[in-house]
Structures are given as C-alpha cells and as structure tokens.
Amino acid sequence: MTRAISLHDVSKTYARGLRVVDRLSLDIAPGEFLVLLGPSGCGKSTVLRMIAGLEEITEGELRLDGEYANDLLPAERRMAMVFQNFALYPNMTGRDNIGFPLRVEAPRADPRPRVDATARMLGIQDLLDRFPGQLSGGERQRVAMGRAIARHPSAFLMDEPLSNLDAKLRNHLRAEISRLTRELGVTTVYVTHDQGEAMSLGDRVAVLRGGVLQQVGTPRSVYALPRNVFVAAFVGTPRINLLRGVVRAPLDGAMTISLGKQYLRLPEPLSRDHQLLRVQQGREVIVGLRSEAVRIARPESARPGEVLITGLVEHVEFQGHEVLVHFDTGSRPAVVPELEAPRPVPGPPRRRRRQGAVLDRLRERAGSLRAGPVVVLDHPADADARPAPPEGRLPGDLVVRTSPDLDLRHGMQVPLLVDLAHLFVFDHDGERICPAPARLPDLEE
C-alpha cells in the first residue's frame, strides 16, 4: 500500500536559531516519484529525515494519508530509507542484511522467501552469501536497496543513493531505480544535487535553496519556465547564459534590450510578454538564453523571431556528439552568487511597516521564495568596465551548443541568431518577468 505525504508550512530550526528549512509546503501524491533538488546544504536531506521521523519538526505539520503524523515513531510510518553511504552491517551477509528488518518486524516468520524474491527482482542472487567488504560500491547499493524493497514499505526515501558511485554505474542504477519504483508503484522521495538525475527520474522536481522551496513542477516545466534566476541557473546543462541588459522602449521606435555593445531588437508586432516589458523602461534586467536558443548561421537564413548579434570565439569545448562554443559578445554576465554554497547571502534588513498590510504580505512571500538576493548586479558606474572572468570560469559571456561539423577557431568573428521565442527576462531581484507568470498574486491571500 502506497501513501500520500503532505508537508504544511514545515520548518526546522537548530540551536542558536539556525533555520535550515523555512515554511515548506509540499503535497506528494500516492505512487508519485518526487525529487528534492538543490545545492549541498539547502535542507533537502533534512526534509527527508523529517518525513522519516529521524528529525523532529520545529513548526508545521506532516500528514500521511491526511492524518497528523508529527509524533509518529519512525517504525510506525512504514517507510524505508536508502542512505548515501549504504549503511550495511559489515558482519552480516547480503542475505542477512536484507532480512534483518524483516526479522525485527516479525521474529517468528521466515524471511527467506521475501529475501529471495527481492534478490531476483534486483538480480543479486549471487551476492546473498557475501559480506559487504567483498562487494563493490554498486553491489552494496543494490543490497541496500533490497533491504528497503523487502519490507514492502508505503514509501521509499532515498538520500543521494548514487553519489558515491562512478558515472557509468550511476546511469545503470538510475535506470534500475526508475524501473523498480514504476513497477512497485510506491511513493518515492529522492534527494539529489545532480540535476541530471532529477530530470530523468522524477515525475515532479522540487527545487530548494537555503531551506526555501523555489519551484515545484514537472522536469519539463521547471526547465522551460524557471520561476527565478536561481532555478534557471541550477537546472540545465550547460548552465543558462545570464546577461545584464537594459530595456529601451521609446514611444516612436522599436523596443530593444541593450546588452552593452550590442542589443536585441524585439520583433513587431510585440507579443504579450514583450509588451509587458515596457514597464521596465530604463531599468537593468537579467537576460537568460539557453544554449539551444542561439545558433550559428548567416543573417539571410534568419527565421521569424530571430535577431542577429555577433560573437568572438573565445573557447571551444569538443564533446564528441556536439561542441560548446564560448563567445565574447561584449555583454556583461550576471552572477548568481554562491550557487553551490550552503545558504544564500542574507539581504539588508527592511524597515518595519504596519503589520498586516497587503503589500507587506506580498513582499514577505516574494522574499521567502527567493531566500535572499539571487543576482549580483554591480553599480551602474562600472557599466563599461570589463572585468576578468572569475577564477574557474571560462572566458566569454555566451555559450552556444552546435554540431561538431563546424570548424571554429579562437578569435573568429561569427554571426549568431537569437531566437526571441526562447528569451527569458528576470528583474533586478531575479524573479522572472518574461515570459510573464501565468498567475498574478491574489491581494486577498
């Protein structure tokens, strides 16, 4: 029997007021495979441990099948957890490790039939008589998964189970996990910092930053319509191009987004999303372009909605089936600070306002969704400065994915066609404003 899991405004605070999870609300349907995705230290493992009962919930409610479950003991929740470090008993064989929880639950029952059935499902029959020290990393993880599956739990909780394995084995076990959870139909909550795992495994993906839920949706929707700059930068390989721009919307001319030495001219008639950019006139914004939104082609081959810019080849990465080309377009990159850091940098304190005001509630909600400043934009005085790329970052400001057939060398000037149908625009705080959010805030909420 699988079950529904609901978290309502759940928070976790440790000693000295360290808040690692902040008002998290999430509904997981029976049989759903939900992935908690985020950088190290963002609180995703803490959320998993609160669901399992290994961590106390400081505030909020956990409901299992609609029933209050904050005070249930871990054994009463009928969940099975798969850990990152396998957590096998070194003095027990694979058979004994898989059968141990069954003997604890029913001391008089014979666990061998369920152990054998689980081993056949995972293809580890020949590993049952070996000790963990005699197994490889992948084999130990299969035994650990077998121990969870043999219990017939109501939910699987997986805490980065593949992070200690090599790339080839990770891909193989990823496919096995997908197949097993689909066949068993058990609710699964899977924690990872690897967006490749998240996009290939999850029915839905929940992105966390600094203990705050940023966005939840299908892998396709999270990639195609990121809610803010953090989600856009964290999801997608190679990382999205983020450029600083200024909206120019004269009454008697075409609307453009200046990127420094070049600009993007928005096609007329303006789409609804582009029309809404008029309110940003003269303001600095962040332009987001996926690598597939730009192609190398001559100006005469431009399709409707494509505009021309030029780029200077700075670096070429050969990937075999494709090439990633780094261009210098004269633009200024926007930076997502501490993308991999445990917690975002806190913003400056705000003046206290009249409690209960509608605008205050909207500001509080927007701030909680961002969990601190997302984008660093320098002072306008240095707008013409061209700083060196940060340490560890390749030169150039625009990465384009192309075929390996093109012969590109350092220093070549190349025409680039930008598809404005795949243009993202974010405001100074990193919130997406184009395409416009499907739902505007309700002032009564």
In whole angstroms, what is the distance from residue 212 CA to residue 43 CA?
Answer: 8
In whole angstroms, what is the distance from residue 406 CA to residue 43 CA?
Answer: 44
pLDDT at 31: 93
In whole angstroms, what is the distance from residue 213 CA to residue 25 CA?
Answer: 8
pLDDT at 175: 86
Closest C-alpha among 362, 363, 379, 369 to residue 344: 369
pLDDT at 341: 39
In whole angstroms, what is the distance from residue 409 CA to residue 262 CA?
Answer: 22
Contact criterion met (CB below 8 Å) for 278 and 255 = yes
Q: Cβ–Cβ contacts within 10 Å for residue 290, how many?
A: 21
CATH class of the domain at 231-336+374-434: mainly beta
pLDDT at 287: 95
3-class SS at 373? coil
Contact criterion met (CB below 8 Å) for 82 and 158 = yes
The CA–CA distances, whole Å, from 181 to 146, 149, 156, 202, 357 equal 12, 10, 9, 11, 46
pLDDT at 168: 78
HSE-up (13 A, CA, CB side) for residue 154: 18
Instruction: Report, at the CATH architecture level, how domain 5-224 is classified.
Output: 3-Layer(aba) Sandwich (3.40)
pLDDT at 374: 52
- Sheet of 67-68: strand order equals 19-28, 5-13, 59-64, 67-68
Q: Are strands 187-192 and 33-37 parallel, antiparallel or unpaired?
A: parallel
pLDDT at 310: 95
Contact criterion met (CB below 8 Å) for 295 and 327 = no
Spell out the domain ranges in the chain: 5-224, 231-336+374-434
In whole angstroms, what is the distance from residue 340 CA to residue 325 CA?
Answer: 24
Per-position b or e across 390-427, b if 16+ CB within 10 A of its CB = eeeeeebbbbbbbeeeeeeeeeeebbbbbbbeebbbbb
pLDDT at 360: 53
Q: Which portions of the chain are predicted below pLDDT 50?
A: 340-345, 347-353, 355, 362-372, 377-392, 440-445
What does the DSSP assignment read for 226-238?
-SBHHHHHHSSSS
pLDDT at 169: 79
